């Protein structure tokens, strides 16, 4: 998107140059090499100056990129969770795939936690060790916990009311995100250990 803006800006600037009196009279064709080089440098510097992002434009672009990333991660959490739950119901789950899905969920949740900047207690939250590495039953329990946390997070009413911040709902959303990250890490580590144990 940003590159398209730059491209459009270049085109607009070139169009302006094309209709200057010097160009209209065909004098550029008669410039000697030194004059042509000076003209080229002048035009290059003028284009760079015209397209230099202002602080306001740069801030707006960064804000839009953050919002886009939030939307992507919000959706990605749900899609990957569906894949993870489908895999968990298999008689012989693909542990490599489960570790990969859990890692993707954790990364998306970490980005959301940073980008949303939800108010609430950010430190001191502890979650029990689900002992995923002990077997498939423990793994399925952890996956159920992970899925429930994702469901609670994406269905939180705090995301339905733009411009209205509910401290209780925001704190719950932060709690759910933190739990998603922690359980996601446990699932990844545990499934990797189970995979190694299976190959021994």
Does the pLDDT at position 148 exceed 90?
yes
Does the pLDDT at position 163 exceed 70?
no
Q: Sign of torsion, CA 13 14 18 22? A: positive
Q: Are 116 and 70 spatial neighbours (Cβ–Cβ below 8 Å)?
A: yes
Q: Residue 176: which of 152, 158, 160, 145 has the closest Cα?
A: 152
Q: How many whole angstroms separate alpha carbon 189 and alpha carbon 179?
A: 15
Q: Which residue has the higher pLDDT, 132 or 65?
A: 65
Q: How many whole angstroms separate alpha carbon 150 and alpha carbon 142?
A: 12
Q: In this structure, what DSSP letter does residue 164 have? A: -
Q: Which residue has the higher pLDDT, 83 or 50?
A: 83
Q: Are 131 and 138 spatial neighbours (Cβ–Cβ below 8 Å)?
A: yes
Does the pLDDT at position 12 exceed 60?
no
Q: How many CB atoms lie within 10 A of CB 77?
A: 23
Does the pLDDT at position 5 exceed 60?
no
Q: Which residue has the higher pLDDT, 89 or 45?
A: 89
């Amino acid at each position: 998107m940003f590159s398209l803006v730059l491209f459009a800006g270049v085109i607009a600037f070139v169009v302006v140059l094309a209709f200057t009196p010097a160009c209209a009279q065909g004098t550029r064709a008669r410039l000697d090499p030194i004059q042509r080089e000076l003209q080229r440098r002048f035009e290059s510097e003028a284009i760079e100056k015209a397209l230099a992002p202002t602080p306001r434009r740069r801030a707006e672009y960064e804000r839009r990129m953050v919002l886009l990333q939030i939307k992507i991660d919000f959706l990605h959490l749900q899609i990957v969770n569906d894949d993870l739950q489908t895999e968990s119901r298999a008689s012989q789950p693909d542990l490599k795939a489960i570790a990969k899905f859990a890692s993707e969920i954790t990364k998306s949740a970490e980005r959301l936690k940073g980008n949303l900047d939800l108010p609430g207690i950010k430190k001191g939250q502890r979650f029990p060790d689900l002992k995923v590495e002990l077997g498939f039953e423990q793994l399925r329990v952890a996956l159920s916990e992970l899925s429930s946390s994702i469901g609670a997070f994406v269905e939180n009413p705090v995301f339905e009311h733009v411009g209205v911040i509910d401290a209780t709902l925001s704190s719950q959303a932060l709690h759910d995100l933190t739990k998603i990250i922690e359980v996601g890490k446990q699932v990844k580590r545990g499934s990797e250990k189970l995979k190694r144990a299976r190959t021994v």
